[in-house]
Structure 1
Amino acid sequence: MEKDAFAQQLPVEKYTRNIENKSIFYVIRKEGDLTKPNFIVSYAWGNYRNDLVMTMFGRLMLLMVGLIVISWLPCLGIARYFTRPLVQMERHVGRMAERDWHEPISTSRKDEIGRLAKAIESMRQRLVRQDRAQQFFLQHTSHELKTPVMVIRSYAQSIQDGVYPKGTLNESVGVIMKEGERLRYRRPEIKWEMDLAPHTTLIGDQEQWKIALENMLDNQLRYAKSCIRIVVKSQSLDNENAVKGQTSLSKFCISNDGPLLDQAIADSLFEPFRSGGDGQFGLGLAIVKQIMDHHGMTVRAANQRDGVSFYIEPGKQTDKTSVPKVS
């Protein structure tokens, strides 16, 4: 160390020596003037460094364990804060799957979980409205059908037993026919205006087209004030087997002079159990849309200046060889 000190040129130098297979580390600091310098020597054995490193490592591990233990409780609280609403929403969705959707989902959160809860609540409200609509529809249908069906059943049972409530078979059957007609709309005051293209061929199933057109006409009779207009436009068939001069449907339009449609109602008019302007619910127009989709046609409703028009028009191409033609 003495030799290193006198030979040292810099103010501070670090040295390492081995003494009897042991490492010693020392630092020599040179102070004073150049003629009579003073030296300060600081040293430490190699095992002291190892002990210091192990001690620091142990304290670091202890500090990390302490931080983990201390932060575990806040982390647990935060996790419960985030997962509690998710668990509640899971339970609500499970009950909704079992048609128990009358308990609302309330939350004051503004984050993504809050938006998810609001979306589920909106879905729940729509399900409640649809359920009420279906219940109303069933109750209304049951009420409308109960009286004529009971009369028809009683008269049919009496005739089967050989008893004629009206005296004769024809008169008794006439009552059954009359009660059956109560299930249909009768509007003798309605004026019909028709512009029909001759020899028009409908591509598809005859019974389905019949059901679709009957439902469309029933809807017009329900809302028309005084007039119903039917326009059928056609185009020439390009089928090689088509009869010469025969045409296919290009557009079917049926209009009435009833009240105009609200835009919100018009957008969902062809969905099941949707209410019209008078609050009535039904499946007629929804069935029309399903039949038109099956036949590659489109159906829509639009307000006109003097009423409402319903259009049936060709949509995507269909395989004409797989469905029959209806003239």
Structure 2
Amino acid sequence: MKKLNFKFKSLTMRIWATFTIIILIIIFSISFFYLVAFKAIDEKAKIQDLKVSHDFLITTKKFTEPNRFDELKNLRGSDYYIVHVDENNKTEIININKRRGLPPNVPNDPFSLNGSDVKLWMSSFITPGTLAEKQFKKSYKNIKFIFIISSVQYGDTGKSYLITYMPEMKENSLLYMMLIIGLVFIAIGFLTSKLVANYISKPLKELENYTVRIAHKDWKQPINIRNADEIGRLATSMNIMQKELKRADEEEKMFLQSISHDLKTPIMVIMSHAAAIIDGVYVESVEKNAEIIKDEALNLEKKVKQMLYFNTLDYVLENNICDIEINLHRLLFHIINRFKVINNNIKWELNIEEALIIGNVDKIQVSIENILDNSLRYAKEKISVTLKKEGDFAVIEIYNDGSNIPKEHLCHIFDNFYKDKTGNFGLGLAICKKIIKFYNGEIDAVNRDTGVSFLIKYRL
């Protein structure tokens, strides 16, 4: 059997359904309270009032004088009579205060057609001996009666008993009133839900239209924030998302422009020199042309590898299970020894202390090598590398004595596809930043009086 699905597409209907369910729960709870608690309290009060009237008759012994107890709210329909048992155990019903008609507001007399049967039935609960306000709550022909029996002095012979009784009247006016109030509240809830839904859905509709604009890369204007509530905070978050998407879109466009130029150039060089070899038209030797083709191909391969590495880096970092303890002192000397042979004219100054970190050796090595490669490219005569501990961090400073980085570019050099002053795009520094940030580290570039320092911080 398929599961019933009561989901509403309309926000108004969902709010109205919620209001209605809450109101119905309240109505049913009050009705239950009425049927259980209120009914018990009401019955207890009626028994107490019946007992008071019974005690009054016994105390005053005015059995033959009419009273108006049955006109009280809790004693509607009540009456009393004497049961006399003579020496021969013959029972006689004495209707001393027999009513003339029904009291006000009593809809039916449940025992008017055959009253003697009801009274004889109550008399059957009399037990031998003296009775003192013995209470009973019994049903006769589907009608519930509350009655009290006490021994009294009436007549010269035999035994007499006073029975005060009252049929249980069902009071449903409160229940009906609660149902009517519930229906009124459901109607009010529908109107209220409509107003609330319109109030909520209007800004949500604006956010929906704004989202569609973002999906179509329309960055012209942010959404207006009118309130500081949850919807206002959602609008703020969407404005932040719009800025980030706009920035990513601009970076993508810049990347496409850069890559189209930087990849096109080596391809054109390779094609022109290859055509020269085929046609036999070249300035120098075939070997020189082949060497140029090889260099450009290696340069092209390097750029393609960087792009592939950068695009898969997030996945590799998140799914990496090879984090181990790394001795930075040993790793730095291993990397520097490989870089020293690239340019013998560079002087290296080293001040490297012992420090241990946790991470993937290959990724940490890439983050340091990219900085050293960048420094070696711009260094004139000297590169210095220091490693020291500062608080919870191992701080690596890599300095080169090259030219300062212009201030307008200093804060962007770690961005994706940043172009250096030579006009070439690169991903090396962006890869460094991504690796270091993944391990909760920090990276920064600082201009010195002469040269530039790159500061890398890894948690110890």
**TM-score, length of structure 2 as denominator length:** 0.42
Higher Cα radius of gyration: 2
Query: 2:104 is matched by which residue type in structure 1?
Result: A
Q: Match for residue 349 of structure 2?
A: 195
1:62-141 maps to which residues of 2 (within 5 A)?
Answer: 62-86=180-204, 89=207, 100=217, 102=219, 104-141=222-259
**TM-score, length of structure 1 as denominator length:** 0.55
CA distance in 2, matches of 1:14, 1:124: 83
CA distance in 2, matches of 1:165, 1:181: 21
Give the CA deviation at 1:285. 0.8
More helix by share: 2
**Residue 149 in structure 1 maps to residue 263 in structure 2:** no
Please list every run of 5 or more consecutive structure 1 residues that lacks an aligned counterpart in the other structure.
Answer: 8-12, 27-42, 185-190, 236-248, 317-327
Which of 388, 394, 398 lines up with 1:253 in the alignment?
398
For the structure 1 residues 56 and 228, does the alpha-carbon distance in structure 2 shift closer, same or farther, using more than 3 Å as the test?
A: farther
Please list every run of 5 or more consecutive structure 2 residues that lacks an aligned counterpart in the other structure.
Answer: 1-52, 61-66, 80-102, 109-166, 303-344, 353-359, 389-393
1:273-312 maps to which residues of 2 (within 5 A)?
Answer: 273=417, 282-290=426-434, 300-303=443-446, 305-306=448-449, 308-312=452-456
Query: 1:258 is matched by which residue type in structure 2?
Result: N
Query: 1:143 is matched by which residue type in structure 2?
Result: H
* SS of equivalent to 1:44: coil
CA-to-partner distance for each residue in 1:196-238, whole Å, 9 max, x for gaps? 479xxxx955x9947853554436756x7xx564113579xxx
* SS of equivalent to 2:104: strand
Give the CA deviation at 1:121. 1.3
Aligned residues: 258
Give the CA deviation at 1:58. 3.0
CA-to-partner distance for each residue in 1:281-323, whole Å, 9 max, x for gaps? 74221223456689x896622535525311346655xxxxxxx
* SS of equivalent to 2:404: coil
CA distance in 2, matches of 1:136, 1:212: 26
Which of 229, 232, 242 lines up with 2:385 in the alignment?
232
RMSD of aligned residue pairs (Cα, Å): 5.3
Give the CA deviation at 1:150. 0.6
CA distance in 1, matches of 2:255, 2:374: 17
CA distance in 2, matches of 1:232, 1:221: 15
Contact 1:196–1:233 (CA under 8 A) maintained in structure 2: yes
Contact 1:24–1:46 (CA under 8 A) maintained in structure 2: yes
CA-to-partner distance for each residue in 1:63-108, whole Å, 9 max, x for gaps? 3312321331221220232244446546755886x67464744442
Contact 2:262–2:424 (CA under 8 A) maintained in structure 1: no
More strand by share: 1
Give the CA deviation at 1:59. 4.3
For the structure 1 residues 232 and 303, does the alpha-carbon distance in structure 2 shift closer, same or farther, using more than 3 Å as the test?
A: closer
The one of the two structures with greater contact order (alpha-carbon pairs below 8 A, sep at least 6) is: 1
For the structure 1 residues 301 and 63, does the alpha-carbon distance in structure 2 shift closer, same or farther, using more than 3 Å as the test?
A: closer
CA distance in 2, matches of 1:107, 1:250: 43
Contact 2:370–2:429 (CA under 8 A) maintained in structure 1: no
For the structure 1 residues 63 and 17, does the alpha-carbon distance in structure 2 shift closer, same or farther, using more than 3 Å as the test?
A: closer
Which of 277, 280, 286 lines up with 1:169 in the alignment?
286
Query: 1:254 is matched by which residue type in structure 2?
Result: Y
CA distance in 2, matches of 1:91, 1:111: 20
Q: Match for residue 104 of structure 2?
A: 44
* SS of equivalent to 1:254: strand
* SS of equivalent to 1:47: coil
Query: 2:77 is matched by which residue type in structure 1?
Result: I
For the structure 1 residues 131 and 180, does the alpha-carbon distance in structure 2 shift closer, same or farther, using more than 3 Å as the test?
A: same
